[in-house]
Structure formats: structure tokens, C-alpha cells
């Protein structure tokens, strides 16, 4: 039987003031110490000596037990106060005025680890502390914990095991109707609930599905069947709070080509968000109705470039989709009737996302299509996710068989995630139909 859970925050009193380690120093997290993962928090320190030098530290442990930490040194103002929205970090894991710098600049204590927070019921707990840099260097003066939730009040989480579908459905509180989104966060197999649950809190019915490596699914796959994603689409459209006949699809990396194939071959895909994907079907053959519709564009691992960090640069590893022998792998994106949002990071080192966007734009224009828009982010790397998580410069890549560089610079990447998160919501609200009569018909 499917499992459903209506999330409610524990009713406990928690003010914005952290536990005081000094009789005078106060660390405050505003507007409150408990917030959503994708919400900013204002960090303030009071009760310091005039112009006192202190270091703020942040520390968190992810689902895999990897510790992430950051630090920033500040000088208090004349009244002994520090405000991260006003005051620059003078040194540490970031510098300058960056209100959320302590969170996005956190680094793993082990090289080439990516921050893992995939289960929506597990909050992201960040311990922030203030340390003396003068009289008693390193002594903790004050500390507080920022509890960053992945699932909002009233959002219903339901495990889905119906037909071939293996996933999790998130439904917002309220009568609706709500637009529907299929989340193809399939990197590395299994399920990731973070993006789906956060979108649900923003007013979308979201189904995130696994392609492999979840529950009773195979750990390894040799081909992908579009029929499975079509089944997920139909399931999502039937949910009673869903308004409209179509669905949006959000993707990243490999799942980008799957989202484009869905829009090109299936009915009912009204809007697609493609984040740092490819213009061709990659790595695995794609089947539909028992026939192969797209062969895979493959990699040449001899083109992996070693670096001093011991992580490889894989930007040139994919074969050229425009080469004559690979033309059959190109997705016929001109067949898509829905709206397309192409998002590319200019410093993506996983592959050349901006070149793939150029290929698709040229192809669409050649066929007289204008159902697309593009967004490019200078200084951003491959993994653009919901904002305020730790930036990941490198981690293990299954295809490469070792760590790879994802590209980007932490500050620019973090800013891109904030901008993109708002853009995604605006795009889906603008292009997904939402009709109350549809929900009444389902009831």
C-alpha cells in the first residue's frame, strides 16, 4: 500500500537567539532559526567589544556522514555588532559581503565529496558558532543551529509503487488546482526528493521517479524505455489536485536528454526545464513501444584530462553529436509542442552545455520554431540545484570511474542557483495550464 505522510513541524518554541556561550555575546538567526532549505537567513552577532575580531564557523553533516564546514573572519563595528548582510568577510572560505556565504562555501572534510541531502524528511542542520580571535583565540563565544527543512507545512509525501512506477509524490496543502511537474533527478540512480519537495511547497504537485537502483529496481541498466516515463506522466495527470491536461518536466545532466525526448515523442508535456544536459540521447539506447528510437551518443574516456586535484576534466569526453556517424543520436526537438527552457552553465566541465544549447537553438530555428528560451550563467558549474547548499567543485562520476571536476566558481555558482530557482517557478507557472474544472472532473 502506498504510504502517505502529511508533514507538520514539531510544535516547539524556538526563538531567534542561539545558546549563549558568553554572558554578553549573542548570535541571532533571523527571521527564525528554523526555515526552509531554499530560504535565506540573516546572521547577526551582538555584544562584542568595539572593533573586535571574531571568526564565524558553520558545520553540518550530510546523509552519508561527510562533514562540511566553512569559516569567515569579521571585525565588529563600533557598537560591537556584526551583520552578514552588511559586513564583509575578511578571510576564510569566502570573502566580501555574502549574506549566505557561510552556507554555500562549506567544504567537505574529504576531497571530492558531493553534499548529499536526498530524503525530504531529514532537515539540513547547520551549527553556526562565533569564535574569539583576540584574547582567547578559538574560544566559542556564542552558537546557534539553523534547521533547514526540505518539506513544508501541510505538504503530503506519498511513496509511489504503482505499476512500474517507483517514486515519491508531493502534494501542496490547499484545494488547488495546482500545476503538475515530473522531476527527473536521476543522477546516480535511486531517488532524490529535495528538489521535488521544495517545489511542492511552492505550489506544484511533483512526482520524482527513479530509473534504476531504487527498491526492487535493477542496480544497473542497459537501456531506457520511454514507456516508463509515459506511465509516470499519466499517473501524475490523474492526481486529483492537478489542474490542466499537461505536465511540466524538470531535469539535469543525463536526464536533460530524457526530458527532451519526452517532449518530442510523448503527448501532454507542456513545459520542460533542461539544466546542463545534452542535445543528443546519451550513454544508453532509448526505446519506445518495444522499438529503439534513439541510439546512444557515447564517450571517449581517453579524452579525460588529469588535473593536480586528482579529479579529471571531462568536458571533451562526449563524442561530437554533429559528426555524421552520430547524427542519429540527436533528439528531434523540433517535434516538441511544449515550451522549452534551456539552462547552461558557461563553466560546466562535465560537458559543453552551452554548445549543446546552441545546437538545439539552431535546429529549432531551422524548423521555424520559437517555443524556447535560454539562460546562461557565467562562472557556474554543472550541478545547479536549489539554492544555499554547499557548492561542489568535484565528486565521483560513475562513467569516468573516478572523481571529476564539475566546474564553476563558488560565489558565481551560488548566485546562479538563487536566480535559477526563481526562474524555474516563474517558467512553470507561466506555461503550465491549471484549470479548476479538471480537478472537479477527477473528483
State the catalytic residues.
Answer: 253, 348, 382
- Measured CA to CA in angstroms, residue 328 lies from 253, 282, 285, 293 at distances of 20, 11, 11, 9
Q: Where are the beta strands (DSSP E) in 34-139?
A: 34-36, 42-46, 53-61, 67-75, 82-83, 107-108, 124-132
Give yes or no for a contact between 27 and 81, defined as CB atoms under 8 angstroms apart: no
Are the beta carbons of 75 and 147 closer than 8 angstroms?
no
Dihedral (CA of 380, 385, 391, 395) sign:
negative
**Where do we find the cell 584574547?**
135
Distances (CA, A) of 132 to 32, 356, 401: 24, 50, 44
111, β-bridge pairs: none
- Grid coordinates representing 442 are 477527477
Total Cβ atoms within 10 A of residue 311: 23
From the list 419, 413, 343, the residue with the least C-alpha distance to 376 is 343
Q: How many CB atoms lie within 10 A of CB 400?
A: 16
CB contact set of 134 (below 8 Å; sequence gap of 6+): 52, 53
Q: Are strands 180-184 and 165-171 parallel, antiparallel or unpaired?
A: unpaired
CB atoms within 10 A of CB 144: 23
Q: Is 18 left (phi over 0), alpha (psi -120 to 50) or beta?
A: beta
Provide DSSP, 114-142.
------TTS-EEEEEEEEESSTTTT-EEE
Q: Which residues, other chains included, contact 65 with Cβ-Cβ below 8 Å and sequence gap of 6+? A: none
Comparing CA positions, the residue from 146, 130, 133, 140 lying closest to residue 56 is 130
Amino acid at each position: 500500500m502506498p504510504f502517505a505522510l502529511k508533514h507538520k513541524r514539531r510544535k516547539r518554541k524556538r526563538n531567534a537567539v542561539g545558546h549563549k556561550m558568553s554572558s554578553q555575546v549573542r548570535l541571532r538567526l533571523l527571521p527564525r532559526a528554523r526555515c526552509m532549505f531554499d530560504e535565506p537567513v540573516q546572521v547577526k552577532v551582538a555584544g562584542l567589544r568595539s572593533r573586535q575580531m571574531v571568526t564565524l564557523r558553520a558545520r553540518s553533516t550530510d546523509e552519508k556522514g561527510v562533514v562540511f564546514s566553512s569559516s569567515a573572519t569579521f571585525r565588529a563595528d563600533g557598537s560591537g555588532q556584526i551583520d552578514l548582510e552588511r559586513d564583509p568577510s575578511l578571510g576564510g572560505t569566502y570573502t566580501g559581503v555574502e549574506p549566505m556565504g557561510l552556507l554555500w562555501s562549506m567544504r567537505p572534510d574529504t576531497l571530492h565529496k558531493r553534499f548529499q541531502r536526498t530524503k525530504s524528511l531529514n532537515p539540513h542542520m547547520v551549527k553556526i558558532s562565533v569564535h574569539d580571535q583576540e584574547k582567547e583565540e578559538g574560544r566559542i563565544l556564542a552558537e546557534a543551529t539553523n534547521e533547514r527543512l526540505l518539506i513544508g507545512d501541510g505538504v503530503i509525501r506519498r511513496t509511489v509503487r504503482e505499476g512500474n512506477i517507483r517514486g515519491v509524490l508531493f502534494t501542496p496543502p490547499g484545494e488547488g488546482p495546482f500545476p503538475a511537474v515530473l522531476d527527473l533527478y536521476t543522477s546516480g540512480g535511486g531517488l532524490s526528493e529535495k528538489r521535488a519537495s521544495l517545489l511542492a511547497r511552492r505550489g506544484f504537485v511533483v512526482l520524482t521517479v527513479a530509473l534504476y537502483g531504487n527498491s526492487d529496481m535493477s542496480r544497473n541498466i542497459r537501456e531506457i524505455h520511454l514507456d516508463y516515463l509515459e506511465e509516470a506522466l499519466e499517473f501524475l495527470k490523474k492526481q486529483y489536485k492537478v489542474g490542466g491536461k499537461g505536465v511540466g518536466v524538470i531535469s539535469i545532466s543525463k536526464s536533460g536528454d530524457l526530458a527532451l525526448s519526452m517532449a518530442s515523442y510523448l503527448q501532454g508535456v507542456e513545459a520542460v526545464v533542461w539544466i546542463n544536459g545534452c542535445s543528443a540521447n546519451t550513454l544508453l539506447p532509448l526505446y519506445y513501444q518495444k522499438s529503439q528510437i534513439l541510439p546512444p551518443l557515447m564517450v571517449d574516456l581517453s579524452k579525460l584530462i588529469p588535473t593536480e586535484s586528482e579529479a579529471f576534466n571531462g568536458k571533451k569526453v562526449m563524442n561530437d553529436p554533429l559528426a555524421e556517424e552520430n547524427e542519429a543520436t540527436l533528439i528531434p526537438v523540433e517535434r516538441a509542442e511544449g515550451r522549452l527552457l534551456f539552462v547552461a552553465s558557461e563553466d560546466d566541465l562535465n560537458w559543453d552545455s552551452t554548445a549543446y544549447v546552441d545546437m538545439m537553438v539552431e535546429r529549432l530555428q531551422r524548423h521555424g520554431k520559437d517555443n524556447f528560451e535560454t539562460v546562461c550563467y557565467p562562472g557556474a558549474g554543472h550541478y545547479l540545484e536549489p539554492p544555499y547548499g554547499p557548492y561542489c567543485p568535484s565528486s565521483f562520476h560513475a562513467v569516468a570511474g573516478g572523481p571529476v571536476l564539475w566546474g564553476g566558481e563558488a560565489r558565481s555558482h551560488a548566485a546562479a542557483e538563487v536566480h535559477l530557482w526563481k526562474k524555474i517557478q516563474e517558467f512553470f507557472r507561466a506555461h503550465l495550464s491549471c484549470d479548476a474544472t479538471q480537478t472537479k472532473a477527477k473528483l
